[in-house]
């Protein structure tokens, strides 16, 4: 079973304040689990969110061709 993180732990893992993961939950942009009245975020959901929103750098050679 995947480790369930509190909102505070998720924020720390993302390097943000707690408002950011709370907003992700409110907007349903990330998977979360309700345990009674508590909200938990699976660690794999955070990993998937980061992977889906990672922007790869442009190819440096292609950039040099455009400049020349």
Query: What are the sequence ranges of the domains in the chain?
Result: 4-55
Residue 68 has pLDDT above 60, yes or no: no
Distance of CA 14 to the CA centre of its chain: 7
Identify the pLDDT of residue 59: 74
Identify the pLDDT of residue 57: 80
State pLDDT tens for residues 35-62. Answer: 999 999 999 999 999 999 998 887 766 7
Identify the pLDDT of residue 67: 59
State pLDDT tens for residues 13-42. Answer: 999 999 999 999 999 999 999 999 999 999
Are 14 and 29 in contact, with CB atoms under 8 Å apart?
A: no
């Amino acid at each position: 079973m995947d480790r369930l993180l509190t909102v505070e732990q998720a924020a720390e893992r993302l390097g943000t304040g707690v408002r950011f993961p709370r907003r992700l939950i409110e907007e349903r942009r990330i998977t979360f689990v309700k345990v009674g009245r508590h909200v938990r975020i699976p660690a794999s959901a955070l990993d998937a969110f980061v992977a889906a929103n990672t922007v790869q750098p442009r190819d440096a050679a292609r950039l040099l061709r455009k400049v020349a």
